[in-house]
Amino acid sequence: MQISTPALIIKVMDMRENDRLVTLLTKNLGVVKAFVSGAKKVGHKNHSATSLFCYSDFLLTRTGNTYKVKDASLINSFFNLSSNIENLALAQYFCELTATLSPEETPADEQLRLVLNTLNFLCKGNIDNTILKSIFEMRTMVITGYMPNLLACSECGKFDDEIMSFSIENGEICCKGCKSVNSNYLLNKTLLSALRHIVYSDFNKLFNFRVPPESAKQLNKITENYLIYQTDRQYNTLNFYKSII
């Protein structure tokens, strides 16, 4: 069976001789692993289109549960990420999250859109990396089934307060009067508004917010720790990113 699909390469593993095993994020099939024969050769027709961070049109063949790349045509690449070690490390973290949390054999249109847009902003450099990281982490949580409830206080239903508390264990907020014993973070109005924007905004407006640098650092800590707690795992690429910033 042959399948034609655009896909982003989120992981590359060199195999024996000149072959590659690529992990693809596709719109209709989610995460797919496919073999690319001879792609390590510089002159091979599929060499440039099957490198990490390439968004390409793929013609795949499937036999049983095994996919092979028959042909690949480059649509867009994010090669210039490698010119900045911080951007490269952050992009690798985004890809590890995607490969780990996105479903296999299930449509992943929203996740693909999120990764492509985030890598594009990362290349352009017109949004602070700290904010990009928070957007990607929390929106990934929303897409993959770990969406927190930030609509109102989980105890009394109060929508707003000068300070609200947030529990990374329960994914809920409480107002000052109902502060939960499980709360981990105190949210001022800036932080709560930023989190609500990431979780609930239309995708077309997702990247259209800014917060002061100190608030961005606090937001980053919240989204990162929420993700780690909810997914119950550590990410090697995250540890490397944090070691170089």
- Asked if residue 16 has pLDDT above 90, the reply is no
User: If you ran DSSP here, which 8-state letter would residue 102 be given?
Assistant: S
Residue 20: predicted pLDDT: 87
Average of per-residue pLDDT across 207-235 = 97
104 band by pLDDT with thresholds 50, 70 and 90: confident
Name the 3-class secondary structure at 44: coil
User: What are the sequence ranges of the domains in the chain?
Assistant: 2-77, 83-244
For the stretch 158-208, pLDDT in tens is 999 999 999 999 999 999 898 776 788 999 999 999 999 999 999 999 999
The domain made up of 2-77 is a member of CATH 2.40.50.140: yes
Strand 172-175 and strand 164-167: pairing? Answer: antiparallel
- Asked if 216 and 130 touch (Cβ cutoff 8 Å), the reply is yes
Q: Backbone phi, then psi, for 52, in 5-degree steps?
A: -60, 140
Alpha helix locations (H) across the chain?
Answer: 85-101, 109-124, 129-143, 189-200, 213-231, 236-244
42 band by pLDDT with thresholds 50, 70 and 90: low
41 band by pLDDT with thresholds 50, 70 and 90: low
49 band by pLDDT with thresholds 50, 70 and 90: confident
Residues 6+ apart with CB under 8 A from 191: 185, 211, 215, 218, 219, 222
The answer to whether the 2-77 and 83-244 domains have the same CATH topology is no
Q: By mean pLDDT, which of 15-19, 191-195, 225-229 is the weakest?
A: 15-19
Per-chain mean pLDDT for the chain: 92
Distance, in Å, from the CA atom of 137 to the CA atom of 236, rounded to the nearest integer, reads: 15
Residue 15: predicted pLDDT: 80
Classified by CATH at the fold level, domain 83-244 comes out as: de novo design (two linked rop proteins) (1.20.1440)
Name the 3-class secondary structure at 178: helix
User: If you ran DSSP here, which 8-state letter would residue 34 be given?
Assistant: E
- Asked if residue 112 has pLDDT above 70, the reply is yes
pTM of the full predicted structure? 0.94
Residues 6+ apart with CB under 8 A from 186: 163, 164, 165, 166
